[in-house]
Amino acid sequence: MSNHALENGVANIKKEEELSDMRHGEKFSFLSSGYSFEIIEQMSNYIREKSQLRPRIAVICGSGLGSLADIILDSTVISYEEIPHFPPSTVPGHAGELVIGLLDGIPVIAMKGRLHLYEGYPLWLCSMPVRVMKLLGVRQIVITCAAGGLNPSYKTGDIMIIKDHVNLQGLIGNSPLVGKHDERFGPRFFPMNKTYDSHYREIAKRIATDMGISDSVREGVHVMVGGPNYETIAELQFLRLMGIDSVGMSTVHEVLVARQCSMRVFAFCLITNECVTEYDCNLEANHEEVLQTAEQRQETLKLFVTKIVAEMAKPENSIVQPIPGRTPGRTNIVKHQINAGELRALRKGRIASTKPTVATEQEVNNMLDLGIIEPSSG
Protein backbone atom coordinates (compact mmCIF):
# COMPACT_ATOMS: atom_id res chain seq x y z
CA MET A 1 0.00 0.00 0.00
CA SER A 2 1.43 3.42 -0.90
CA ASN A 3 2.05 6.01 1.79
CA HIS A 4 -0.64 8.14 0.24
CA ALA A 5 -3.21 5.35 0.35
CA LEU A 6 -2.16 4.54 3.88
CA GLU A 7 -2.61 8.14 4.95
CA ASN A 8 -6.00 8.23 3.29
CA GLY A 9 -6.94 5.03 5.06
CA VAL A 10 -5.92 6.45 8.42
CA ALA A 11 -7.84 9.64 7.69
CA ASN A 12 -10.92 7.60 6.87
CA ILE A 13 -10.63 5.54 10.02
CA LYS A 14 -10.34 8.70 12.09
CA LYS A 15 -13.45 10.04 10.45
CA GLU A 16 -15.26 6.79 11.14
CA GLU A 17 -14.22 6.97 14.77
CA GLU A 18 -15.56 10.50 15.02
CA LEU A 19 -18.82 9.29 13.57
CA SER A 20 -19.04 6.20 15.71
CA ASP A 21 -20.67 7.93 18.67
CA MET A 22 -23.45 9.07 16.33
CA ARG A 23 -23.96 5.47 15.33
CA HIS A 24 -23.57 2.70 17.86
CA GLY A 25 -21.10 4.34 20.20
CA GLU A 26 -18.63 1.57 19.54
CA LYS A 27 -15.09 2.21 18.48
CA PHE A 28 -14.92 -0.46 15.84
CA SER A 29 -18.31 -0.17 14.17
CA PHE A 30 -16.75 0.74 10.80
CA LEU A 31 -19.20 -1.37 8.89
CA SER A 32 -22.11 0.13 10.75
CA SER A 33 -25.59 0.05 9.31
CA GLY A 34 -25.89 3.65 10.35
CA TYR A 35 -27.39 5.90 12.94
CA SER A 36 -28.42 4.28 16.18
CA PHE A 37 -32.08 3.88 17.07
CA GLU A 38 -31.68 6.78 19.48
CA ILE A 39 -30.40 9.15 16.78
CA ILE A 40 -33.25 8.17 14.48
CA GLU A 41 -35.62 8.75 17.38
CA GLN A 42 -34.16 12.24 17.94
CA MET A 43 -34.77 13.08 14.31
CA SER A 44 -38.34 11.81 14.34
CA ASN A 45 -39.02 13.67 17.59
CA TYR A 46 -37.80 16.88 15.97
CA ILE A 47 -40.16 16.36 13.04
CA ARG A 48 -43.07 15.31 15.26
CA GLU A 49 -42.94 18.62 17.06
CA LYS A 50 -43.41 20.52 13.81
CA SER A 51 -46.77 19.04 12.83
CA GLN A 52 -49.84 17.71 14.55
CA LEU A 53 -50.45 15.23 11.73
CA ARG A 54 -49.42 11.59 12.15
CA PRO A 55 -49.32 10.19 8.61
CA ARG A 56 -49.32 6.45 7.98
CA ILE A 57 -48.47 6.96 4.32
CA ALA A 58 -45.21 8.37 2.93
CA VAL A 59 -44.29 9.40 -0.60
CA ILE A 60 -40.71 9.66 -1.85
CA CYS A 61 -40.54 11.98 -4.84
CA GLY A 62 -37.95 11.08 -7.47
CA SER A 63 -35.94 13.36 -9.79
CA GLY A 64 -38.14 16.15 -11.06
CA LEU A 65 -41.15 14.64 -9.32
CA GLY A 66 -41.13 17.02 -6.37
CA SER A 67 -44.28 18.62 -7.71
CA LEU A 68 -46.10 15.54 -6.38
CA ALA A 69 -45.64 17.16 -2.98
CA ASP A 70 -47.03 20.50 -4.17
CA ILE A 71 -50.60 19.20 -4.04
CA ILE A 72 -50.29 18.45 -0.34
CA LEU A 73 -52.45 21.00 1.48
CA ASP A 74 -52.20 22.58 4.93
CA SER A 75 -48.59 21.53 4.83
CA THR A 76 -45.64 21.93 7.13
CA VAL A 77 -42.40 22.10 5.18
CA ILE A 78 -39.18 21.11 6.92
CA SER A 79 -35.87 21.59 5.17
CA TYR A 80 -33.52 18.59 5.46
CA GLU A 81 -30.82 20.99 6.60
CA GLU A 82 -32.70 21.97 9.75
CA ILE A 83 -33.25 18.39 10.94
CA PRO A 84 -30.47 17.27 13.27
CA HIS A 85 -28.14 14.71 11.58
CA PHE A 86 -30.06 14.90 8.26
CA PRO A 87 -27.77 15.45 5.24
CA PRO A 88 -28.62 18.01 2.57
CA SER A 89 -29.91 17.05 -0.86
CA THR A 90 -27.44 18.16 -3.54
CA VAL A 91 -29.05 17.13 -6.84
CA PRO A 92 -31.02 19.39 -9.22
CA GLY A 93 -34.68 18.33 -9.12
CA HIS A 94 -34.46 17.34 -5.42
CA ALA A 95 -35.53 20.23 -3.20
CA GLY A 96 -34.47 18.58 0.05
CA GLU A 97 -37.65 19.11 2.04
CA LEU A 98 -40.06 17.05 4.05
CA VAL A 99 -43.67 18.02 3.48
CA ILE A 100 -46.30 16.91 5.98
CA GLY A 101 -49.91 17.66 5.15
CA LEU A 102 -53.10 16.43 3.54
CA LEU A 103 -53.25 14.80 0.14
CA ASP A 104 -56.90 14.89 -0.85
CA GLY A 105 -57.70 14.89 2.88
CA ILE A 106 -55.32 12.05 3.77
CA PRO A 107 -52.38 12.75 6.07
CA VAL A 108 -49.11 12.07 4.26
CA ILE A 109 -45.44 12.81 4.63
CA ALA A 110 -43.52 13.41 1.41
CA MET A 111 -39.80 13.54 0.80
CA LYS A 112 -39.32 16.21 -1.81
CA GLY A 113 -36.00 14.92 -2.95
CA ARG A 114 -33.98 11.90 -1.91
CA LEU A 115 -30.38 11.07 -1.05
CA HIS A 116 -28.18 9.13 -3.46
CA LEU A 117 -25.09 6.96 -3.24
CA TYR A 118 -23.41 9.09 -5.90
CA GLU A 119 -23.71 12.18 -3.70
CA GLY A 120 -21.13 10.50 -1.52
CA TYR A 121 -23.60 9.23 1.04
CA PRO A 122 -23.38 5.58 2.08
CA LEU A 123 -26.50 3.52 1.43
CA TRP A 124 -27.46 3.40 5.10
CA LEU A 125 -27.57 7.21 5.09
CA CYS A 126 -29.48 7.37 1.80
CA SER A 127 -32.19 5.13 3.24
CA MET A 128 -32.13 6.50 6.80
CA PRO A 129 -35.19 8.77 6.20
CA VAL A 130 -37.31 5.65 5.80
CA ARG A 131 -36.48 4.65 9.39
CA VAL A 132 -37.25 8.17 10.59
CA MET A 133 -40.63 7.97 8.87
CA LYS A 134 -41.24 4.56 10.41
CA LEU A 135 -40.76 6.03 13.88
CA LEU A 136 -43.12 8.83 12.91
CA GLY A 137 -45.81 6.22 12.31
CA VAL A 138 -45.52 5.53 8.59
CA ARG A 139 -46.64 2.02 7.64
CA GLN A 140 -47.19 2.32 3.88
CA ILE A 141 -44.87 3.94 1.39
CA VAL A 142 -45.03 5.09 -2.22
CA ILE A 143 -41.56 5.29 -3.73
CA THR A 144 -41.13 7.04 -7.06
CA CYS A 145 -38.09 7.54 -9.26
CA ALA A 146 -36.94 8.62 -12.67
CA ALA A 147 -35.42 5.80 -14.69
CA GLY A 148 -34.14 4.85 -18.11
CA GLY A 149 -36.36 2.47 -20.07
CA LEU A 150 -34.31 -0.59 -20.99
CA ASN A 151 -37.17 -2.77 -22.16
CA PRO A 152 -37.28 -1.95 -25.89
CA SER A 153 -41.05 -1.64 -25.84
CA TYR A 154 -40.96 1.18 -23.28
CA LYS A 155 -41.41 4.79 -24.34
CA THR A 156 -40.31 8.02 -22.66
CA GLY A 157 -43.14 9.15 -20.38
CA ASP A 158 -44.32 5.62 -19.53
CA ILE A 159 -44.96 4.73 -15.91
CA MET A 160 -43.42 1.44 -14.84
CA ILE A 161 -44.90 -0.15 -11.74
CA ILE A 162 -42.02 -1.98 -10.08
CA LYS A 163 -42.84 -5.64 -9.53
CA ASP A 164 -39.32 -6.70 -8.55
CA HIS A 165 -35.74 -5.51 -8.52
CA VAL A 166 -32.19 -6.74 -8.91
CA ASN A 167 -30.15 -5.37 -6.02
CA LEU A 168 -26.80 -5.09 -7.81
CA GLN A 169 -25.13 -3.35 -4.85
CA GLY A 170 -26.51 -5.85 -2.36
CA LEU A 171 -25.40 -8.83 -4.43
CA ILE A 172 -21.81 -7.68 -3.95
CA GLY A 173 -22.20 -6.76 -0.29
CA ASN A 174 -23.08 -3.07 -0.39
CA SER A 175 -26.40 -2.96 1.39
CA PRO A 176 -27.88 -0.33 3.72
CA LEU A 177 -28.41 -3.21 6.14
CA VAL A 178 -24.82 -4.43 6.57
CA GLY A 179 -23.19 -3.88 9.93
CA LYS A 180 -24.31 -3.96 13.50
CA HIS A 181 -27.92 -5.08 13.72
CA ASP A 182 -30.66 -3.54 15.86
CA GLU A 183 -33.82 -5.62 15.88
CA ARG A 184 -35.90 -2.52 16.64
CA PHE A 185 -35.55 -1.67 12.93
CA GLY A 186 -36.74 -5.14 11.93
CA PRO A 187 -35.27 -8.61 11.55
CA ARG A 188 -31.77 -9.17 10.25
CA PHE A 189 -32.81 -11.98 7.89
CA PHE A 190 -36.05 -11.41 6.06
CA PRO A 191 -37.62 -12.50 2.77
CA MET A 192 -37.87 -10.25 -0.29
CA ASN A 193 -40.19 -12.26 -2.52
CA LYS A 194 -43.29 -10.29 -1.52
CA THR A 195 -41.62 -6.91 -1.49
CA TYR A 196 -43.66 -5.03 -4.07
CA ASP A 197 -47.17 -5.34 -2.70
CA SER A 198 -49.22 -7.25 -5.27
CA HIS A 199 -52.49 -5.80 -3.99
CA TYR A 200 -51.26 -2.23 -4.46
CA ARG A 201 -49.98 -3.11 -7.92
CA GLU A 202 -53.44 -4.37 -8.89
CA ILE A 203 -55.01 -1.21 -7.48
CA ALA A 204 -52.58 0.94 -9.49
CA LYS A 205 -53.37 -0.91 -12.71
CA ARG A 206 -57.10 -0.47 -12.09
CA ILE A 207 -56.56 3.24 -11.46
CA ALA A 208 -54.53 3.50 -14.69
CA THR A 209 -57.43 1.95 -16.59
CA ASP A 210 -59.93 4.32 -14.95
CA MET A 211 -57.70 7.27 -15.86
CA GLY A 212 -57.41 6.06 -19.45
CA ILE A 213 -53.61 5.78 -19.27
CA SER A 214 -53.19 2.01 -19.15
CA ASP A 215 -51.43 2.05 -22.56
CA SER A 216 -48.52 3.87 -20.96
CA VAL A 217 -48.43 1.93 -17.70
CA ARG A 218 -46.09 -1.05 -17.56
CA GLU A 219 -44.96 -3.43 -14.89
CA GLY A 220 -41.36 -4.56 -14.71
CA VAL A 221 -38.07 -5.23 -12.99
CA HIS A 222 -35.92 -2.32 -11.82
CA VAL A 223 -32.20 -2.16 -11.21
CA MET A 224 -30.26 0.43 -9.26
CA VAL A 225 -26.81 1.30 -10.56
CA GLY A 226 -24.35 3.48 -8.64
CA GLY A 227 -24.21 6.43 -11.02
CA PRO A 228 -23.73 9.31 -11.38
CA ASN A 229 -22.72 8.51 -14.95
CA TYR A 230 -25.26 6.86 -17.21
CA GLU A 231 -24.47 3.40 -18.53
CA THR A 232 -22.34 2.17 -21.39
CA ILE A 233 -23.95 0.18 -24.17
CA ALA A 234 -22.22 -2.99 -22.99
CA GLU A 235 -23.52 -2.44 -19.44
CA LEU A 236 -27.06 -1.92 -20.68
CA GLN A 237 -26.89 -5.01 -22.88
CA PHE A 238 -25.68 -6.97 -19.84
CA LEU A 239 -28.53 -5.63 -17.69
CA ARG A 240 -31.08 -6.47 -20.36
CA LEU A 241 -29.79 -10.04 -20.45
CA MET A 242 -30.48 -10.14 -16.72
CA GLY A 243 -34.14 -9.38 -17.36
CA ILE A 244 -34.04 -5.73 -16.34
CA ASP A 245 -36.71 -3.34 -17.65
CA SER A 246 -35.71 -0.04 -16.04
CA VAL A 247 -32.44 1.45 -14.82
CA GLY A 248 -32.07 4.05 -12.09
CA MET A 249 -29.71 5.21 -9.36
CA SER A 250 -32.01 4.96 -6.37
CA THR A 251 -35.05 3.30 -4.81
CA VAL A 252 -33.76 -0.21 -4.09
CA HIS A 253 -32.01 0.70 -0.81
CA GLU A 254 -35.12 2.57 0.39
CA VAL A 255 -37.29 -0.39 -0.45
CA LEU A 256 -35.00 -2.74 1.51
CA VAL A 257 -35.16 -0.62 4.64
CA ALA A 258 -38.91 -0.13 4.30
CA ARG A 259 -39.51 -3.86 4.02
CA GLN A 260 -37.22 -4.65 6.90
CA CYS A 261 -39.45 -2.55 9.14
CA SER A 262 -42.62 -4.13 7.68
CA MET A 263 -43.85 -1.22 5.58
CA ARG A 264 -46.08 -2.05 2.65
CA VAL A 265 -44.39 -0.80 -0.51
CA PHE A 266 -45.76 0.54 -3.76
CA ALA A 267 -43.06 1.79 -6.14
CA PHE A 268 -43.00 3.06 -9.68
CA CYS A 269 -40.56 4.67 -12.12
CA LEU A 270 -41.29 7.37 -14.60
CA ILE A 271 -39.43 6.33 -17.73
CA THR A 272 -37.69 9.62 -18.45
CA ASN A 273 -35.47 8.44 -21.29
CA GLU A 274 -34.97 5.42 -23.48
CA CYS A 275 -31.71 3.59 -22.80
CA VAL A 276 -29.36 3.56 -25.76
CA THR A 277 -28.31 -0.02 -26.46
CA GLU A 278 -26.93 0.31 -30.00
CA TYR A 279 -23.52 1.72 -30.96
CA ASP A 280 -24.81 3.50 -34.07
CA CYS A 281 -27.37 5.60 -32.20
CA ASN A 282 -26.76 9.33 -31.71
CA LEU A 283 -28.94 9.77 -28.62
CA GLU A 284 -27.23 10.39 -25.28
CA ALA A 285 -28.77 10.24 -21.80
CA ASN A 286 -28.82 13.50 -19.86
CA HIS A 287 -30.34 14.85 -16.67
CA GLU A 288 -32.08 17.76 -18.47
CA GLU A 289 -34.15 15.27 -20.43
CA VAL A 290 -34.94 13.42 -17.21
CA LEU A 291 -36.23 16.60 -15.55
CA GLN A 292 -38.06 17.70 -18.69
CA THR A 293 -39.95 14.40 -19.01
CA ALA A 294 -40.85 14.56 -15.34
CA GLU A 295 -42.24 18.05 -15.80
CA GLN A 296 -44.27 17.00 -18.85
CA ARG A 297 -45.86 14.09 -16.96
CA GLN A 298 -46.37 15.85 -13.63
CA GLU A 299 -50.14 16.46 -13.89
CA THR A 300 -50.84 12.82 -14.77
CA LEU A 301 -48.57 11.62 -11.98
CA LYS A 302 -50.16 13.91 -9.41
CA LEU A 303 -53.55 12.39 -10.16
CA PHE A 304 -52.16 8.84 -10.28
CA VAL A 305 -50.45 9.21 -6.89
CA THR A 306 -53.47 10.95 -5.31
CA LYS A 307 -55.74 8.10 -6.36
CA ILE A 308 -53.31 5.45 -5.18
CA VAL A 309 -52.88 7.11 -1.79
CA ALA A 310 -56.67 7.38 -1.44
CA GLU A 311 -56.96 3.62 -2.04
CA MET A 312 -54.04 2.77 0.24
CA ALA A 313 -55.66 4.76 3.05
CA LYS A 314 -58.84 2.66 3.01
CA PRO A 315 -58.99 0.44 6.11
CA GLU A 316 -59.09 -2.75 4.05
CA ASN A 317 -55.91 -1.74 2.20
CA SER A 318 -53.92 -0.48 5.14
CA ILE A 319 -53.54 -3.63 7.21
CA VAL A 320 -49.85 -4.26 7.81
CA GLN A 321 -48.46 -7.73 8.41
CA PRO A 322 -45.19 -8.11 10.31
CA ILE A 323 -42.35 -9.18 8.05
CA PRO A 324 -41.26 -12.74 8.90
CA GLY A 325 -37.80 -13.27 10.32
CA ARG A 326 -37.79 -11.86 13.83
CA THR A 327 -35.21 -13.51 16.04
CA PRO A 328 -37.23 -15.86 18.27
CA GLY A 329 -37.55 -14.89 21.92
CA ARG A 330 -36.28 -11.33 21.54
CA THR A 331 -38.84 -9.55 23.73
CA ASN A 332 -36.10 -7.53 25.41
CA ILE A 333 -35.36 -5.36 22.45
CA VAL A 334 -37.58 -2.41 23.33
CA LYS A 335 -36.07 0.63 24.88
CA HIS A 336 -37.62 -0.01 28.27
CA GLN A 337 -37.39 -3.61 29.42
CA ILE A 338 -40.78 -5.23 29.63
CA ASN A 339 -41.35 -7.75 32.38
CA ALA A 340 -43.69 -10.69 32.00
CA GLY A 341 -46.59 -8.97 33.77
CA GLU A 342 -46.28 -5.84 31.67
CA LEU A 343 -46.02 -7.87 28.51
CA ARG A 344 -49.21 -9.71 29.45
CA ALA A 345 -50.90 -6.35 30.01
CA LEU A 346 -49.68 -5.13 26.63
CA ARG A 347 -50.99 -8.26 24.95
CA LYS A 348 -54.38 -7.93 26.58
CA GLY A 349 -55.23 -4.40 25.74
CA ARG A 350 -52.54 -2.47 23.82
CA ILE A 351 -52.08 -0.36 26.92
CA ALA A 352 -49.62 2.17 25.56
CA SER A 353 -51.59 5.15 26.73
CA THR A 354 -52.12 3.95 30.28
CA LYS A 355 -48.60 2.66 30.82
CA PRO A 356 -46.33 5.17 29.13
CA THR A 357 -43.29 4.04 31.06
CA VAL A 358 -43.56 0.52 29.68
CA ALA A 359 -43.58 1.47 26.04
CA THR A 360 -44.55 4.47 24.00
CA GLU A 361 -47.34 4.17 21.46
CA GLN A 362 -44.68 4.26 18.78
CA GLU A 363 -42.82 1.34 20.34
CA VAL A 364 -46.02 -0.66 20.70
CA ASN A 365 -46.80 -0.05 17.04
CA ASN A 366 -43.29 -1.12 16.15
CA MET A 367 -43.61 -4.27 18.23
CA LEU A 368 -46.96 -5.05 16.66
CA ASP A 369 -45.51 -4.67 13.19
CA LEU A 370 -42.55 -6.83 14.05
CA GLY A 371 -44.79 -9.49 15.56
CA ILE A 372 -43.17 -9.17 18.97
CA ILE A 373 -46.59 -8.57 20.51
CA GLU A 374 -50.00 -9.31 19.11
CA PRO A 375 -53.06 -7.09 19.15
CA SER A 376 -55.69 -8.42 21.54
CA SER A 377 -59.10 -9.15 20.12
CA GLY A 378 -60.87 -7.73 23.17
Ligand X SMILES: O=P(O)(O)O[C@H]1O[C@H](CO)[C@@H](O)[C@H]1O
Least CB distance from residue 116 to ligand X, whole Å?
5
Among 36, 63, 169, 366, which residue interacts with ligand X (rule: CB under 6 A)?
Answer: 63
Using CB under 6 A as the binding rule, whether residue 96 contacts ligand X is answered as no
Active site residue 118: yes
Segment 121-150, which members bind ligand X (CB under 6 A)? 145-146
Using CB under 6 A as the binding rule, whether residue 249 contacts ligand X is answered as yes
Strand ranges inside 150-216, DSSP E? 159-166
Using CB under 6 A as the binding rule, whether residue 114 contacts ligand X is answered as yes
129: closest CA among 173, 167, 78, 172? 78
111, 58 Cβ separation under 8 angstroms:
yes
The alpha carbon of 37 is separated from its chain's Cα centroid by a whole number of angstroms, namely 17
64: closest CA among 95, 101, 86? 95
Active site residue 94: yes
Active site residue 32: no
Catalytic residue among 22, 67, 79, 118: 118
Count of CA atoms in the C-beta half-sphere (13 A) of 8: 5
Least CB distance from residue 226 to ligand HPA, whole Å?
10
Catalytic residue among 69, 133, 249, 258: 249
Write down how long the chain is. Answer: 378
Give the binding range for ligand X (CB under 6 A) out of 13-21, 43-51, 242-250, 347-355. 242-250
Binding site for ligand HPA (CB under 6 A): 146-148, 225, 230-231, 247-249, 272-273, 275, 285, 290
Using CB under 6 A as the binding rule, whether residue 248 contacts ligand X is answered as yes
176 binds, among ligand X, ligand HPA, none (CB under 5 to 8 A by kind): none
Active site residue 253: no
- The SS3 of residue 221 is strand
Give the binding range for ligand X (CB under 6 A) out of 82-90, 153-161, 244-252, 329-337. 244-252
Q: How would DSSP label each residue in 228-290?
A: SS---HHHHHHHHHTT--EEESSSHHHHHHHHHTT-EEEEEEEEEEE----TT------HHHH
Using CB under 6 A as the binding rule, whether residue 259 contacts ligand X is answered as no
Catalytic residue annotation: 63, 94, 116, 118-119, 146, 249-250, 273, 287
